A and B are shown apart, each in its own frame.
Chain A
Amino acid sequence: MGRTLVQLFIDGLSMGLVYVLMSSGFNLVIAVPNIIFIAFGEFYMLGAFVVWYVQVPAGLSYFIAVPAAVIITAILGGLSYLLVFRPLQFRRNQFLTNIIAGVGLMLILGQAALMMFGTEARGVPSLVSKVCEVLGVRISLEKVVVILLSVVVLAALHFVLRRTRTGRAMRAVSFRPDVAALQGVNADRMFLVAMILGCALAGFAGAVMAPIFGVDLGMAENGFLVMLVVMLGGIGSMPGAILGGLVFGMTLSYGQYFIGSGESQILFFAVILAILLFKPGGILGKNIEEIGHV
Chain B
Amino acid sequence: MSRRWKLWAATAFFLIVAALPQLVRSPYYVHLMILIMMNSVLAMTFVMLLRAGLLNMSMAAFWGIGAYTSAMLTLKGGLSFWWSLPASVTISAVIALVVGAILVRNSGLGFIIPSLIFAFIVPLVFGTFRVFGGHVGLIRVPAPDSIPLPGGSALMFGSEASYYYLLLAFAVIVVVVLLALYRSWVGRAWRAMGLSNDLAQSVGINLFRYRLLGFVIVSAMAALMGVFFAHYSTNIQPGSYGPFKAIYIQMYAILGGIGSPVIGPIIGAGILTVIPEALRVVKNFEPMVTGALIVLILIFLPQGITGFLDGRSARQTSAYLFGLLRGHQREKAYSLRGDRQALEGEGKLGESDDVESEAG
User: Taking beta carbons and an 8 Å cutoff, which residues of A are in contact with B?
Assistant: 34, 38, 84, 87-94, 96-97, 99-101, 103-108, 110-112, 115, 176-178, 181, 188, 224, 227-228, 231, 235, 260, 262-263, 265-266, 269-270, 272-273, 276-277, 280-281, 287-294
Contact = CB atoms under 8 A, between A and B. Distances in A.
Contact of B284 (A88, A99, A115, A281): A115
A227 B302 contact: no
Interface in B301-348: 302, 330, 333-334, 336, 338-344, 348
Contacts of B291: 103-108, 111
Contact of B250 (A91, A99, A280): A99
A115 B283 CA distance: 11
Nearest to B125: A266
A105 B340 contact: no
A108 B292 contact: yes
B184 to A, nearest CB: 22
Enumerate the 5 nearest inter-chain pairs by beta-carbon distance, A residue then B residue, closest first. A280-B110, A107-B291, A262-B128, A104-B294, A292-B109
B117 A228 contact: yes
A288 B108 contact: yes
A94 to B, nearest CB: 7
11 contacts: A92-B302, A100-B254, A103-B251, A107-B287, A115-B284, A289-B108, A292-B55, A292-B108, A292-B109, A293-B348, A294-B50
Contact of B247 (A99, A111, A289, A293): A99
A103 B336 CA distance: 28
A276 B336 contact: no
Nearest to B113: A231
B298 A97 contact: yes
A176 B344 CA distance: 12
A87 B330 contact: yes
Contacts of A292: 55, 107-112
Interface of B: 50, 53-55, 102-103, 105-114, 116-118, 120-121, 124-125, 127-128, 194, 197, 243, 247-248, 250-251, 254-255, 258, 284-288, 290-295, 298-299, 302, 330, 333-334, 336, 338-344, 348-351
Contacts of A97: 254, 298, 302
A289 B343 CA distance: 15
B288 A111 contact: yes
Which of A108, A289, A294 has most chain B Cβ within 10 Å? Answer: A294
Contacts of A281: 110
A18 to B, nearest CB: 20
A280 B339 contact: no
B257 to A, nearest CB: 10
Contacts of A34: 340
Contacts of A270: 121
B250 A100 contact: yes
Contacts of A178: 336, 339-342
B128 A92 contact: no
B290 A107 contact: yes
Contacts of B349: 294
A293 B284 contact: no
Contacts of A276: 110, 113-114, 117
A173 to B, nearest CB: 10
